[in-house]
Chain A
Amino acid sequence: MPAILEVNGLNKSYKDSSFSLDDVSLTIPYGSIVGFIGENGAGKSTTMGSILGTLRVDSGSVQLFGRDVDHKNKTEKEDIGVVFDDLKLPKRLTVKKLNRVLNHVYKNWSEETFFYYVDFFQLSKGKAVGHFSRGMSMKLSVAVALSHQAKLLILDEATAGLDPTGRVELLEVLQTFVQDQDRGILMSSHITSDIEKIADQLVFIKGGKIRLSVSKQELLNEYVVARLSKEEVQQLTKTTIIAKKADGDHIEVLLTNRSEVSEGQLIQNRSIDDISLLLMRGDV
């Protein structure tokens, strides 16, 4: 069975910036939530924009449901729900008017689903969208993304601005979205604890390049972070080193193989946040 989304060798450069996407590839299998992790300016939004067609790529391919994406194809867009890092909905419209607009835009728009989520997230139907708080705006954007029978959700910092309760609610909704194994989510977030909670696959990006693509299970169960001396690092098998970062006289190393180091050298209880920091700040 092909993946919901397959991105292969995306390259994208800008005329007025030295930043570029460099051979970015990632896959979203059916039924999975892929966490897309990187610092500000790492290339997460550029990758998402390239997938969605808001940006034009220099080269590379994007396949949706096993077929090359054609950004001129309206039907494909019916299947993709999008939430950007801030509200991108018309600010003067009320929720009711927004429903009327989108009802005419999406063939599969479900008023019932939309108002279910509007009620679930306790959003006011008669208030202009522009008067919503950031958290409410994000919830409304998620309600929109979930109301047209999308099979793929692309969420760019969707949990930003939500209070803890709101984040828990949203994460539960997202887990329910993929539970039937026929849908998938690509989700970027600065709050790695959110990603740690719900993602199955993790993709780390730095400076426009994918640094690591791995299942969460494999990363947490098999990969290890060790604190070693320079001499000990030199004795490691090079191919097992994912990232290393100087820490005083020692070096912190992310390794794919636990057997390379002793129990005493391991840093215990490292979170995805710690690993992410090592990947983003360290080098290979």
Chain B
Amino acid sequence: MIGLLLNQYYSVSKTILSYAVAAFVLVLVAIGIGNELLVFFAMYMPIIFLVSPAFEVLKHESQSGWNKFVLTLPVHRGNIVQSQYVFFLFLTSIGIVITVMAFVVAEWVFGSAMNQELMYTMMTGIGIAFIMGGISYPATYVFGTEKSDTIVLVATLSGVGLFLLAQQGFARLIEQMTVETIASMNASLVFNGSFLLIGLVFFVISYFVTLGIYNRKEY
């Protein structure tokens, strides 16, 4: 497993570094401008930016033929899928760290930048990333890495679309609630936390689906 993770890391380490730097700078710029919508997106962007090299790895592995060679190594097919999902989680973590770091720096430079509301928003960013990964991995194994760019685009739009849909749904739910109920709960935490949980569940289900697909693959 460590060997497989190392291979993925080495394959895209330069991309990770450049994306991390770009995301860090863009978040700082967004906070510096101070536009509320920009700051809101700044909470998502590094995470979504940083997970995309995970799909680049699949392309590299297919182009180099490593996806065939890896089956001759002393690893289970399950280990291969596992390593891809773990690598995705690793990149998500880097995205979170970059976001937090950028906000901490912004605190020093621009004054109070990070607040609890924005922290909750980051949960949604992670949820969208999970949906991206949850769609992209099985779809890439089914449709092939040649279509990987389209798959990732569709997966990202699906993640954002689901978020907007969930937002609408939650707004309607709030309308049905009494003022006391609304006052007694932290609506932002409930919504963003629920979205993160749904994303996580989707990601876990996707892992088992991908495993099933991969176990039947021939190279």
Residues of A within 8 A of B (CB): 49, 52-56, 72, 74-78, 80, 82, 84, 86-93, 97, 100-107, 130
Q: In this assembly, does B73 line the interface, its C-beta being within 8 Å of a C-beta of chain A?
A: yes
Say yes or no: A74 contacts B74, CB within 8 Å: yes
Q: How far is the CA of A84 from the CA of B218 in the complex (A)?
A: 15
B187 surroundings in chain A (CB, below 8 A): none
Q: In this assembly, does B63 line the interface, its C-beta being within 8 Å of a C-beta of chain A?
A: yes
- Name, among A97, A104, A105, the residue most crowded by chain B CB atoms within 10 Å (CB to CB): A105
- Whether A87 touches B65, Cβ cut-off 8 Å, given contacts A52-B71, A54-B71, A54-B219, is yes
Residues of B within 8 A of A (CB): 2-4, 6-7, 10-12, 60-61, 63-66, 68-69, 71-77, 216, 218-219
Say yes or no: B74 contacts A84, CB within 8 Å: no
- Name, among B60, B64, B74, B75, the residue most crowded by chain A CB atoms within 10 Å (CB to CB): B74
B216 surroundings in chain A (CB, below 8 A): 56
Say yes or no: A90 contacts B71, CB within 8 Å: no
- Whether A104 touches B65, Cβ cut-off 8 Å, given contacts A54-B218, A72-B76, is no
Say yes or no: A84 contacts B65, CB within 8 Å: yes
Q: Which residue of A lies closest to B7 (CB)?
A: A101
Query: In the complex, how many residue pairs between chain A and chain B have their CB atoms under 8 Å apart?
Result: 84
Say yes or no: A88 contacts B3, CB within 8 Å: no
| Nearest CB in chain B: distance from A248 CB, A | 44
- Whether A130 touches B3, Cβ cut-off 8 Å, given contacts A72-B76, A74-B76, A90-B11, is no
Q: Which residue of B lies closest to A76 (CB)?
A: B74
Task: Offer 6 A-B interface pairs, CB within 8 angstroms, sorted by A.
Answer: A52-B71, A74-B75, A77-B75, A90-B61, A101-B7, A105-B3
Say yes or no: B75 contacts A90, CB within 8 Å: no
Say yes or no: A80 contacts B3, CB within 8 Å: no
Say yes or no: B64 contacts A130, CB within 8 Å: yes
- Whether A82 touches B72, Cβ cut-off 8 Å, given contacts A90-B11, A101-B7, is yes
| Nearest CB in chain A: distance from B4 CB, A | 7
> Which of B12, B65, B72 meets A86, CB within 8 Å?
B65
Q: How far is the CA of A103 from the CA of B75 in the complex (A)?
A: 13
Instruction: List 3 A-B pairs, minimum CB-CB distance, nearest first.
Output: A104-B3, A88-B65, A105-B3
Say yes or no: A54 contacts B72, CB within 8 Å: yes
Q: Which residue of A lies closest to B11 (CB)?
A: A92
| Nearest CB in chain A: distance from B166 CB, A | 38
Say yes or no: A89 contacts B64, CB within 8 Å: yes
Q: Which residue of B lies closest to A105 (CB)?
A: B3
Q: Which residue of B lies closest to A72 (CB)?
A: B76
Q: Which residue of B lies closest to A75 (CB)?
A: B74
Say yes or no: B73 contacts A105, CB within 8 Å: yes
- Whether A88 touches B74, Cβ cut-off 8 Å, given contacts A54-B219, A55-B218, A101-B6, is no
B74 surroundings in chain A (CB, below 8 A): 74-78, 105-107
Say yes or no: A102 contacts B3, CB within 8 Å: yes
- Name, among A75, A87, A92, A102, the residue most crowded by chain B CB atoms within 10 Å (CB to CB): A92
- Whether A56 touches B218, Cβ cut-off 8 Å, given contacts A84-B68, A103-B3, A130-B64, is yes
Say yes or no: A54 contacts B68, CB within 8 Å: yes
